[in-house]
Amino acid sequence: MLIRWLLLFALLFTPAAWAAPTILVFGDSLSANYGLAVESGWVSLLQQRLRQNQYKHHVVNASISGETTAGGLARIGDALAAHKPAIVIVELGANDGLRGLSLQATRDNLDGVIRACRAGKAKVLLVGMRLPPNYGAAYSEGFGMIFPALARKHHTALLPFLLDGIADQRELFQADNLHPTAAAQTAILENVWKHLKPLL
């Protein structure tokens, strides 16, 4: 009997049992430190914020510059299997919009990513994106509606617009006028933190 209890104790109190929960950031160049030092990106700042606030979560950045929702859907299964996250921050769609890809395809791909996360028992923070009006009102408005519609459908947390408070400040963008500078990363973190904190 004693041996049985000792074995049970060993199983319950292995390092794996005490492993910090993982937050998986699953995005594109806006989360992949494009044009920035890794430590200055909002994902690295998020890890610092968690530690400062005594959260044990470990942040894994699985973002890829240039990623589309189709690419994200193709690799979400492997990412979930590798990291077993408690929370997934899904930040995809901007490249679909900039390339004028099918709105239905973008929605379907994001739907698949969210479904996979939920099947893996992970909470989801869906990060919304907006397009400039020069893509046409119908396309831009339809694109913007994808994110709140999916958040309602799946009952996930939603950050309506990653670049809220930043998008209209040209000085906070790199020369390509697409990617925020290091100076903008703290503001992006605040946008994420507001909607992530209730999930922690």
Active site residues: 29, 176, 179
Q: Token pair of 29, please? A: 């160049």
Please tell me the distance from the alpha carbon of residue 7 to that of residue 5, in angstroms, as a whole number. Answer: 5
Question: Distance from first CA to last CA of the chain, Å, rounded?
Answer: 39
Q: Token pair of 123, please? A: 């909470």
Sheet holding 157-159, edge to edge: 58-61, 22-27, 87-91, 123-127, 157-159
Axis crossing angle, helix 185-196 with helix 42-52, rounded to the nearest 10: 50
